[in-house]
Amino acid sequence: MQERIQWLDNAKGWGILLVMIGHTNLPGPTNIWVYSFHLPLFFFVSGYLFNPNKFDNTFELIKAKARTLLIPYFSFSLIILLFNALVGFIKLRAVGEYNYLNIINQFIGMFVQMRSTELSGVCWFLTLLFISEILLYWVLRSSKNNDTKSLLLLVASFISGWFYMKIVRVPLPWHVDAGLVATFFVGMGYHAKRYESRIARLIKYRILLLALGVSLICTYINYLLIGTRVDLYYSELGNPIVFIIVSLSGVLASIIVIRKLPNPRFAGYIGRNSLTYYALHATVFYVVLNMILSRILRVVTENELLISYIQPILCVGLTCVLMVPVCYIINNYLPFILGRKRMQQK
């Protein structure tokens, strides 16, 4: 059990690192490839940890998930909102103008949650996961734990979400449209746990090479089809079959790497604090990039191509380190932000 929990922590840590790398906008193919599977990896791990038997009904599920997902969502959203308001005040003092409408939209967006609009809110992934786990619970209840029925319902959920994003292209409040897509991957994680002994047979280096090859090729194919990277936030998924293949092959490759390599302790630490890292890394990015790296690197070199690669790597590394004291403070003194009554010992 401890081994299983450890690799799941490592998987979450690896997923957070991918999210951070994606948000640094590494140039070209690297960013496109990372975006092809980094969110499905999180959905998969969440599904692996999902236990529908803990809840007698939907209300109990909503109550439990509100504590573990919505309380952190609103807590971190307020923290980020206050930070942005402070930055706005500083800009006002410095240049004499600032659009406070941005802050108002962020506050309204906390409750409306419509992706790729001015009312998108922050920490959108947490509310998306909240919706997805509720949908998965309904799928499992409706199928009465019949694997064939549940898989068919998961595919139907994915197709419904994909068609809505492709044709309507108007994000629904609280990411219900994206939730239909995400539920498929959460469900895949849930079923992978049920067949863990069979999945374990795939943890081999030759399967890793195959999964990486498929992932890279399908990423390129999807890019040719849509002319941009896959991005669930902006409803850009490309071909549905190619998207599923590239996502699951990327997830499989990640899991093999995590299970095969020596235990990376820092990845496990990030995984155990994944909520805090996910919610606040962009805010730390702002400080690191604007106040430190962007100035120092241009003193060292004027090579823009070199900077475009070095800056994201240094930014992710510095952010990981700077987040350690933040996690310590939240875990020990402000655990209510995470929906906890006290620090959970790992």
Q: Output the CA–CA distances (angstroms, integers) from residue 220 to 148, 242, 247, in the order listed.
A: 32, 10, 13
138 within domain boundaries:
yes
Q: How confident is the model at residue 344 (pLDDT cuts 50, 70, 90)?
A: very low
- The whole-chain average pLDDT of the chain stands at 88
325 within domain boundaries:
no
Q: How confident is the model at residue 36 (pLDDT cuts 50, 70, 90)?
A: very high
CB 136 within 8 A of CB 50: yes
Residue 208 sits in which domain range? 2-264
CB 102 within 8 A of CB 138: no
In this predicted structure, which of 140-149, 209-218, 291-300, 325-334 has the lowest mean pLDDT?
291-300
In this predicted structure, which of 55-59, 98-102, 132-136 has the lowest mean pLDDT?
98-102
315 within domain boundaries:
no
276 within domain boundaries:
no
Overall number of domains in the chain: 1
Encode pLDDT of 310-327 as tens digits.
Answer: 778 888 888 999 999 999
Residue 236's SS3 state is strand
CA 42 to chain centre: 6
* Predicted local distance difference test score (pLDDT) of residue 250: 96
193 within domain boundaries:
yes
Whole-prediction pTM: 0.91
List of residues 6+ apart from 128 with CB closer than 8 A: 175, 178, 179, 182
What does the block give as tokens for 49? 């940890």
Closest to 126 measured CA to CA, from 59, 175, 78, 82:
175
143 within domain boundaries:
yes
Residue 37 scores a pLDDT above 50: yes
Percent of the chain that is helix, strand, coil (3-state, to 5): 80, 0, 20
Q: How confident is the model at residue 1 (pLDDT cuts 50, 70, 90)?
A: very low
Encode pLDDT of 216-261 as tens digits.
Answer: 999 999 999 999 999 999 999 999 999 999 999 999 999 999 988 8
